[in-house]
Structure 1
């Protein structure tokens, strides 16, 4: 069974001060495209292929899924949707949440998920 990797889009995009706030949807689309390249290979510690899910909220809602990345537009809080996705997965399925949000990590770890920071999915030179 492939590892489920859930990416906190707002948190990861916000971790690099590159002007993302001028075009939140475009920033989410660039992240989605970056993740599509990682789905087959996996992320450090979790070899591919992995199931990649990008959770977006607010102005980034409506970003479409692409091969390798399912995009979930949160109806409200992105963090709440991430917790729901973790809780809904099969009990024996490995799950990794990509975020720097400590409270979100605490919440998903209660369901057995692991947390890794944004630099896990960011290209070299774009990491903070």
Structure 2
């Protein structure tokens, strides 16, 4: 079974679910990041053709106004949050590249539907769409 570092393009995944995220980007990002906590250390069917992969670590890349998110310490301990200095896509590529580099040489599994971003990812990266990821998460609470 492949072990992966799950790298979540928060803006893209958040934007795929029309739950009012545009009214409070930071709050929506915090809810999404919090919902990722249970995935660390779990086997999930997000690999190629739905194969199970083991999520060693979860990294959430947050950009724009969503960077103002606030998270409790237990969430920050479980999910590494990267606040993109500029555009989120470049930060996702940087994270995926770092995951592949020695000494870790792990496999990044990037959750995004952004075709342009997918094309920019380094060779060896795996990709899954927002729906596959969201289907594994608890249902959002109505706002």
1:106 maps to which residue?
Answer: 119
5+ long unaligned stretches in structure 1: none
Query: Is the partner of 2:76 in helix, strand or coil?
Result: coil
* TM-superposed deviation, 1:93: 1.4
Q: Which TM-score applies when normalising by structure 2?
A: 0.77
> For the structure 1 residues 124 and 49, does the alpha-carbon distance in structure 2 shift closer, same or farther, using more than 3 Å as the test?
closer
In structure 2, C-alpha distance between the alignment counterparts of 1:78 and 1:95, rounded to whole Å: 16
RMSD of Structure 2 on Structure 1 (CA): 2.1
2-side partners of 1:90 and 1:23: how far apart?
Answer: 34
Distance 1:39 1:22, change over 3 A: same
Per the normalisation by structure 1, the TM-score is 0.86
CA pair 42-76 structure 1, distance change in 2 beyond 3 A: farther
Count of residues in Structure 1 that have an aligned counterpart in Structure 2: 125
Q: Quick one: structure 1 residues 42 and 67, their matched pair in 2 at CA, closer, same or farther if it must change by over 3 Å? A: farther
Q: Within 5 A, what are the aligned runs for 1:66-105? A: 66-91=76-101, 92-105=105-118
Give the gaps of 5 or more residues in structure 2. Answer: none
Larger radius of gyration: 2
- Matched-pair contact (CA < 8 Å) for 1:42–1:50: no
Residue 36 of structure 1 contacts residue 67 of structure 1 at CA under 8 Å; is this kept in 2? no
